[in-house]
Amino acid sequence: MSLRFSLVIMKQKHIYTASKWREQKALHDLKSLFPKEASTQADITLLLYLVFDMIMSSTNDMGPLSLENFRNNLSASWRVAGLKTSNATYQLNKPETHLRQEKQKEKEGKSSVGLPQWTDSPVKLARRQLIEKRMAKRAAELVKQDDEVIVKLEDLAIERSKSVDSAVLGKYNIWRKENENENADSTVRLMRDQIIMARVYLSIAKMKNKLDLYQELQTRLKESQRALGEATSDADLHQSEHEKIKAMGQVLSKVKDQLYDCKLVTGKLRAMLQTADEQVRGLKKQSTFLSQLAAKTIPNGIHCLSMRLTIDYYLLAPEKRKFPKTENLVNPNLYHYALFSDNVLAASVVVNSTVLNAKDPSKHVFHLVTDKLNFGAMNMWFLLNPPGKATINVENVDEFKWLNSSYCPVLRQLESATMKEYYFKAGHPSTTGASNLKYRNPKYLSMLNHLRFYLPQVYPKLDKILFLDDDIVVQKDLTGLWAVDLHGKVNGAVETCGESFHRFDKYLNFSNPHIAKNFDPNACGWAYGMNIFDLKVWKKKDITGIYHRWQNLNEDRVLWKLGTLPPGLMTFYGLTHPLNKSWHVLGLGYSPSIDRTEIENAAVVHYNGNMKPWLEIAMTKYRPYWSKYVKYSHPYLRNCKLSEWSS
């Protein structure tokens, strides 16, 4: 009995030991199912509890407790699936699927491992349902966390993408899709970039004595340059050029593999950039010079018009050279305009636009003053094209006998040898190149430009007069300007300064004590071109005398360089009333960025600058505001081949 009992005891110990070994091995192998960084302690504990539950529920107590058996028969309700999008979460399938499968298998009388189904007690079933609910809740939380992580990652990716220039991505890739960049010049820019890099590697290949690469690069470079030509957009290129782009890209890839040296490439690009910068500066100087040259020239058509009109004027009988309604010229109750010009076409636009936009043209009187050369042409034009019911008169500045060098300082200075040398000597040290050409512009030497300082002398019987430049266009009725209260000031003008733009220090030499002690460098500048002058206050303040004083002090050009605006700012300092900016919009002769609404709402638009509307260099988008007041159908304009296109 004792031996048999001992054998039984040993058998039970062996069974117990084997069972414990299988349990420990299963627990050890089970760890491989859980990512170390992805499972919390609570999650592992929950799953271990379920594993034990499965082990204890198995009807095959003596069967092998292997991990493979566990994996193959793992219930779908709590099977673990690792997530790729998050290292901190895992996903659980829905428990309802398992329940349906289990119920179906129960009907068939089969267990999940092919054995008769074991039936849970009510307590175990309740516990299992509670566990499944807890797992479903946990799975929902993990899915929610995962969605939040994905949203955050997407937001960060979007933010990073904003800082990336999409036009650069894949720029040198010869297999890139052309429709990825919809810019009209994307291919042209790619070819230009390839040419730049080819030049860089060409010099490096020569430096490193890689003659085969040098020859190949040189051949491809010439092909690309010929293909590109003067093209500015992809539409200018032939379809076959894409093969040349591909060939150049392949050569550049090969050369880069053999010759690329960051330091060398950077140095070559820096040298090329410096050379290009010097070329740009040279071209800018040349452009400025040519712009000044174009600004001071008279187009052939306008010269032809002036000559034809002059000939016909002097063929007229003297009694036919007179304008009607001369009595209106001295009537102070009418609206008087002063226009000083040597350009017949420009003067005609000023008069025509003013009359067409006037509510009552019969009350408007135009006083034109020109030089001896254009006197006949100006008369003939307005005799042939009278301004409707308005009154007009043309005078010759050379017939103003009171305007002489003994009375007028600027005329005396213009006649001096030093002034002639300053304006006309090409090699003057302070006025070389484009600057010298600017000083030599005839308008700075013409008395027509300085006549604006002598308005009471020219029109002694008038009380108020509106001064207009010949490069303006009138778009609205201007009679309201005569009703503006100038508050005792002499000049009504639109101010031109911004925060630091067009203030007195831009025009005057504040290192000179005469300027520094009399003027504020931050005082706001104003515009000539449309100015309402109170001639009564002018005479009372002796404005012409103030102008003479400053002009005499500037005989050596130490207060200002040239022009009439600087002495105007000084003469009318403290005597200028600012007008509403809608009366006068400037910059159509130099600024391409004036708002269209601002232009169309303006009473007067001013083409101040070099790009006058009658010149070829005029800005196309601004020209229609001027050209619509030109009578291109007139026989004189047709004979001189003046058309809207040619202007």
Token duo for residue 310: 């002059």
Least confident of 3-12, 165-174, 358-367, 388-397: 165-174
Q: Is the pLDDT of residue 75 over 50?
A: no
* 110-121 confidence digits (pLDDT tens): 444 444 444 567
Q: Find tokens 């069974």 and name the residue.
A: 15
Residue (of 22, 46, 24) closest to 34 by Cα position: 46
Q: How far apart are the first and last CA of the chain?
A: 134
- State the Cα–Cα distance between residues 638 and 644, nearest whole angstrom: 11
Residue (of 394, 350, 302) closest to 629 by Cα position: 350
Q: 234: pLDDT confidence band, cut at 50, 70 and 90?
A: confident
**Which tops the pLDDT comparison, 126 or 97?**
126
Distances (CA, A) of 412 to 84, 149, 236, 372, 452: 92, 85, 59, 19, 17
**What pLDDT sits at residue 41?**
52
* pTM (two decimals): 0.61
Token duo for residue 231: 């093209």
Which superfamily is assigned to 300-425+438-640 in CATH?
Spore Coat Polysaccharide Biosynthesis Protein SpsA; Chain A (3.90.550.10)
Q: Is the pLDDT of residue 415 over 80?
A: no
Q: What radius of gyration, in Å, describes the C-alpha atoms of the chain?
A: 46
* DSSP string for 236-289: GS-TTHHHHHHHHHHHHHHHHHHH--HHHHHHHHHHHHHHHHHHHHHHHHHHHH
Q: Is the pLDDT of residue 80 over 90?
A: no
Report yes or no: 466 and 335 within 8 Å, Cβ to Cβ: yes
Q: 89: pLDDT confidence band, cut at 50, 70 and 90?
A: very low
Distances (CA, A) of 200 to 260, 262, 618: 10, 12, 39
Q: Is the pLDDT of residue 6 over 80?
A: no
* 461-503 confidence digits (pLDDT tens): 999 999 999 999 999 999 999 999 999 999 999 998 865 567 8
Strand partners, 467: 338, 531
Helix, strand, coil in percent for the chain, rounding step 5: 55, 10, 35
**What pLDDT sits at residue 425?**
62
Strand partners, 126: none
- State the Cα–Cα distance between residues 602 and 599, nearest whole angstrom: 5
* 584-598 confidence digits (pLDDT tens): 999 999 999 999 999
Report yes or no: 50 and 135 within 8 Å, Cβ to Cβ: no
Q: Find tokens 């009380």 and name the residue.
A: 463
Give the up-direction half-sphere exposure of residue 105: CA atoms within 13 A in the CB hemisphere.
Answer: 17
**What pLDDT sits at residue 34?**
52
- At residue 556, the 3 state secondary structure works out as coil
Q: Give the amino acid at 150.
A: I
Q: Is the pLDDT of residue 169 over 50?
A: no
**Which tops the pLDDT comparison, 365 or 3?**
365
* 290-323 confidence digits (pLDDT tens): 776 776 778 889 999 999 999 999 999 999 999 9
The full set of domain ranges for the chain reads 187-295, 300-425+438-640
Highest mean pLDDT among 63-67, 269-273, 335-339, 403-407: 335-339
* 524-580 confidence digits (pLDDT tens): 999 999 999 999 999 999 999 999 999 999 888 889 877 888 999 999 999 999 999
Read off the pLDDT of each residue in 61-77 and give the average, rounded to a whole number.
45
* 10-39 confidence digits (pLDDT tens): 555 555 555 555 556 655 555 555 555 444
**Helix 95-108 crosses helix 122-162 at what angle (to 10 degrees)?**
140
Q: 138: pLDDT confidence band, cut at 50, 70 and 90?
A: confident
Q: Is the pLDDT of residue 517 over 50?
A: yes
Read off the pLDDT of each residue in 420-437 and give the average, rounded to a whole number.
54
Burial of 58 (0-12, 13-18, 19+ CB in 10 A): middle
List phi, psi (to 5°) of 237: -90, 150
Q: Is the pLDDT of residue 53 over 70?
A: no
Residue (of 506, 500, 619, 518) closest to 563 by Cα position: 506
**What pLDDT sits at residue 271?**
86
Least confident of 11-25, 200-214, 630-644: 11-25
* DSSP string for 466-514: EEE-TTEEE-S--GGGGG---TT-SEEE-B---SSSSBHHHHS-TTSHH
Q: Is the pLDDT of residue 342 over 50?
A: yes
Read off the pLDDT of each residue in 230-245 and give the average, rounded to a whole number.
79
**What pLDDT sits at residue 108?**
47
Print burial letters for 123-149: b (CB count within 10 Å at least 16), e (below 16). Answer: eeeeebeebbeebeebbeebeeebeeb
Least confident of 183-197, 363-377, 583-597: 183-197
User: To which H or E segment does residue 376 belong?
Assistant: helix 375-384
Report yes or no: 245 and 190 within 8 Å, Cβ to Cβ: yes
Q: 8: pLDDT confidence band, cut at 50, 70 and 90?
A: very low
- State the Cα–Cα distance between residues 470 and 98, nearest whole angstrom: 94
Q: 452: pLDDT confidence band, cut at 50, 70 and 90?
A: very high
**What pLDDT sits at residue 183?**
61
- At residue 133, the 3 state secondary structure works out as helix
